[in-house]
Amino acid sequence: MKLGSYFLRRLLLLIPLLLGLSLLTFTVSRILPGDPVGLAAGPQATEEIKASLRKEFGLDKPLPVQYFSYIGNLFRGEWGQSLYSRREVASDLKVYFPATLELTLAAIVFAAVLGTLLGVVSALNRNKLPDHLARVVVLFFVSFPAFWLAMMFQLLFGLALDWFPIGKRFNILMSPPQSITGMYLLDSLLTWDWKSFRMAAWHLFIPALVLSFGALASITRITRANMLEALDKDFVRMERALGMPERVVIFKYVLRNAFIATLTIIALEFGWLMAGAVLVETIFDWPGLGLYIVESSLRLDFQPIMGITIIYGIVFSLVNIFTDMAYGLLDPRIRYG
């Protein structure tokens, strides 16, 4: 039961953080020198039109009043309206968020598997050729701008080789799987729709792969360092002396010890990848939070930007909480105080 109360306490601590975040984005959105109302109203708009727009969106009230009504609405699930499209931010987020989450989850799985493997290989061949090679390869891929790499992969795998689609989440001529979570892979699994599953996976593969490169270097480095540390421990010598197969020693005991630190990095990288998705989505026309925030920021449309930032904040914080909880499951020595 201790885990439950730990979780609850962390959730409660999240509230002041998110309030702080909302205050930050609110302040940022109100100090802007640009003129979002003028931009939304168009170049021909008269002062009266602008004034009525301001009134409609409550922008004529004093700032503290605006902030508190914004916060009140947030808790009621009303995240404001886009100045530009007039659509509800909350309903837009409901559509875009699962797309980004699916892309990021797929990417972090790629990065975790590849990075851990490379880290293990590096550690087992310390300072030999495979180690050096792995080091260069991960540094190589992490050094490309994600959006540029996305364009190159689109060209290579989408256009030249024609192995994968060049964008979007699904074939535009087909209807996507019945929406339960909004994540196509999961939805098609839940409804046993294998055709949709294959289609969604086929669209997801390249964007997720490109996105995963950003997290490879740190996952590999941490896994390597902690593998080396764990390999030095007495229990390893003991297990080897007992004649356990090397495979069991490495994967069951050493890796499990090293993996705890890797997990922290994976959680941290998850947030970075979710942000990196902004760029990858732009290239692959992936209808997620990234496309949404880019469009909104170019139009100075602040209601969506604030909503997206808060969604990012919530997910990022939850991931951190879950990671801390996962430690306990992997390492029985850790107890929650």
Interface contacts to other proteins, rule CB under 8 A: 16-18, 20-21, 24-25, 28-29, 31-34, 126, 132, 135-136, 139-140, 142-148, 151-152, 155, 159, 217, 221, 225, 228, 271-272, 274-276, 278-279, 282-283, 293-294, 296-298, 300, 302, 305-306, 308-309, 312-313, 316-317
| Sign of the four-CA dihedral 319, 322, 324, 326 | negative
C-beta closer to other proteins: residue 148 or 194: 148
List Cα–Cα distances, 306 to 30, 138, 222, 301, in angstroms. 11, 34, 34, 9
Residue 285 Cβ vs other proteins, minimum distance, rounded to whole Å: 12
Residue 271 Cβ vs other proteins, minimum distance, rounded to whole Å: 4
C-beta closer to other proteins: residue 102 or 187: 102
C-beta closer to other proteins: residue 199 or 315: 315
Residue 173 Cβ vs other proteins, minimum distance, rounded to whole Å: 24
C-beta closer to other proteins: residue 8 or 32: 32
C-beta closer to other proteins: residue 140 or 194: 140
Residue 110 Cβ vs other proteins, minimum distance, rounded to whole Å: 18
User: Phi and psi dihedrals of 68, rounded to 5?
Assistant: -70, -35
Residue 123 Cβ vs other proteins, minimum distance, rounded to whole Å: 10
Indicate the DSSP class of residue 175: P
Residue 314 Cβ vs other proteins, minimum distance, rounded to whole Å: 8
Residue 80 DSSP SS3: coil
C-beta closer to other proteins: residue 89 or 146: 146
Residue 309 Cβ vs other proteins, minimum distance, rounded to whole Å: 6
Residue 207 Cβ vs other proteins, minimum distance, rounded to whole Å: 16
C-beta closer to other proteins: residue 121 or 201: 121
List Cα–Cα distances, 126 to 63, 142, 236, 295, in angstroms. 59, 21, 17, 47
C-beta closer to other proteins: residue 23 or 180: 23
Exposed, middle or buried, 127 (CB in 10 Å: 0-12/13-18/19+)? exposed
List Cα–Cα distances, 185 to 199, 223, 285, in angstroms. 9, 29, 18
Paired tokens of 299:
């139009």
Q: Where are the alpha helices (DSSP H) in the chain?
A: 2-30, 36-41, 47-56, 63-75, 89-124, 129-142, 146-153, 184-190, 194-231, 234-241, 246-248, 255-284, 289-298, 302-330
CA-based nearest residue to 118, from 134, 140, 141: 134
